[in-house]
Amino acid sequence: MFYREAGDFKTSYSADSQTFPIAFDRYRYWVVLAVAYCVVPFIINDYWLNAVLLPFLIYAVAAIGLNILTGYCGQVSLGTGGFMAVGAYACYKMMTSFPDLNIMIVILLSGLITAAVGFLFGLPSLRIKGFYLAVATLAAQFFLVWLFNKVPWFYNYSASGQINAPEREIFGLVITGAQSVPWAVYLSVLSVVILLALLARNLTRGNLGRQWMAIRDMDIAAEIIGVNPLKAKLSAFAISSFYVGVSGAMFFVFYLGAVEVGEVFGIQKSFIVLFMVIIGGLGSIFGSFAGAAFMVLMPVLLKNVMVGQFGWPTDLAAHFEFVIVGLLIVVFLILEPHGLAQLWRLAKEKLRLWPFPH
């Protein structure tokens, strides 16, 4: 009825190829943005920020990054945790070496450094693919974590091997460290996330994104029609690592504040981000957000319901959490192998016909 293309006339090519061709989607998008920018900052508190919104937004960036590589370009990577560690440690080294540099610039530069590292570890992808590439990236994961544990220069020779985020300001508002203002942190992270998501969305719709998808669907055919696999694969590795690096830097400075590489950026981080991408939907920016929301919010929600509402013992609740989240993942993948993004697509198809099903 209200959700349809009919009657929404496009008069230019750019209008015709916009992200949300349906008017209702556009309004919904602006409403979500308006709520995120104008309502949430006024009601946010420490719990919502640190337990829900920050992990959701930051994991979403990592998921977009991995989605570019795995979902769009078809290169399986298990090195996400290691690349996040590169972002975090690059950020720490720059924050302590150049204290006057604006934190947003530091985060951007950390992303670029991670892109360079990702580029290096992407080189084997030119010769190997599939499971073999997954193992090569797994090596990156273990090597990078080992490196940050082994070389004291990376953690400024501190006795414990921990890195701690110093206090930094933006527009006179403290956004890192313990004294940070919750809404300012939230708005900073949200802005970075939205900018990166817009960039990713447009990259994947353009020339480069089409090259990646051609490589993913059949690399030999892509090469024959003129896609350069070297350029496509390495750009996917570099851009994906940039996103993952930015998310690692934000994970360190905004979310945790103190990081121990083995515990925070271990192999389980790579798997969590990979699960997000698979559950959310491979090759979909919306799917990255949906997957991050599922993996971050579900445990918090279950914990609050089981311990807070029912008063169950915490260990029972923790075990149930594993069971329920695991079960949901299996059920989701059986019922909808293409992830939450596909559910969303189907819902939209249904909505187009509603209320007349034929």
Partner 1 sequence: MKFTKLAAAAVAATMAASPVLADLVFPSLSYRTGPYAAGGIPFADGYADYFTLINERDGGIGGVKTRVLECETGYNTEKGVECYEATKGEGALVYQPLSTGITYQLIPKASADGIPVHSMGYGRTSAANGKVFEWIFNYPANYWTGASSVINHLLDINDGDISGKKVALVYHNSAYGKEPIRTLEELSKKHGFGLTTLAVDHPGQEQKSQWLQIRREKPDYVVLWGWGVMNQVAIQEATNIRFPMENMIGIWWSGAEIDVLPAGDKAHNYKAMALTNVGNDYPIYSDIQKHVVDTGKAAGAGDQLGTVPYNRGLYAAMLAHQAVLKAQEIHEVADITPAMMRDGMEALEMTEEVMAAAGMPNFGPSFKVSCENHGGPGLASVVQWDATAKVWNNISAYREADMDLINGLIEEDSKAYADENNITERCN
Q: What residues line the site for partner 1 (CB under 8 A)?
A: 32, 46-48, 50-52, 55, 149, 158-162, 164, 166-167, 177-179, 255-258, 260, 262-264, 266, 293-294, 297-298, 300-301, 303-305, 307-309, 313-315, 317-319
Q: What sign does the dihedral 270-271-274-279 (CA atoms) show?
A: negative
Contact call for residues 166 and 180 (beta carbons, < 8 A) = no
User: At 215, is the secondary structure helix, strand, or coil?
Assistant: helix
Rounded to an integer, what distance in angstroms lies between the CA atom of residue 125 and that of residue 133?
6
**Residues constituting the chain:** 358
What is the torsional sign of CA 276, 280, 284, 289?
negative
* Cβ 146 to partner 1 shortest distance, Å: 9
DSSP conformation class of 101: S
Closest separation between CB of residue 142 and partner 1, Å? 9
Q: How far apart are CA 294 and CA 299, in angstroms?
A: 9
Residue closer to partner 1 (CB basis): 99 or 130: 99
CB of 58 to partner 1, least distance (A): 11
Q: In this complex, which beta carbon is closest to partner 1, that of residue 258 or of residue 333?
A: 258
3 state DSSP class of 169: strand
Q: Closest CB to partner 1 among 64 and 208?
A: 64
Task: Return the number of the residue (219 or 260) whose C-beta is nearest partner 1.
Answer: 260
Closest CA to 249 of 94, 122, 142, 70: 94
Determine contact, residues 86/242, Cβ cutoff 8 Å.
Answer: no
For residue 7, the surrounding DSSP H or E stretch is: none
Cα gap 197→110, rounded to integer Å: 18
81 versus 209: smaller Cβ distance to partner 1: 81
Q: Which has the closest alpha carbon to 242: 230, 234, 252?
A: 234
Residue with tokens 């034929």: 358
Q: CB 9 → partner 1: shortest distance, Å?
A: 29
Rounded to the nearest whole angstrom, what is the least distance from the CB of residue 71 to partner 1 in the complex?
A: 21
Concatenated DSSP letters of 316-358: HHHHHHHHHHHHHHHHHHHH-TTHHHHHHHHHHHHHHHTT---
Question: Which is closer to partner 1, CB of 23 or CB of 181?
Answer: 181
State how far the Cα of 87 lies from the Cα of 76, in Å rounded to an integer: 20
CA distances from 226 to 27, 127, 215 (A): 39, 18, 11
Question: Cβ 325 to partner 1, closest distance in Å?
Answer: 12
C-beta of 63 vs 264, nearer to partner 1: 264
- Nearest approach in angstroms of CB 318 to partner 1 is 4
Evaluate whether 182 touches 49 at the Cβ level (below 8 Å). yes
- Closest to partner 1 by CB, 32 vs 120, is 32
Least separation in angstroms between CB 356 and partner 1: 25
- Looking at the Cβ atoms of 167 and 223, the one nearer to partner 1 is 167
**Nearest approach, Cβ of 246 to partner 1 (angstroms)?**
19
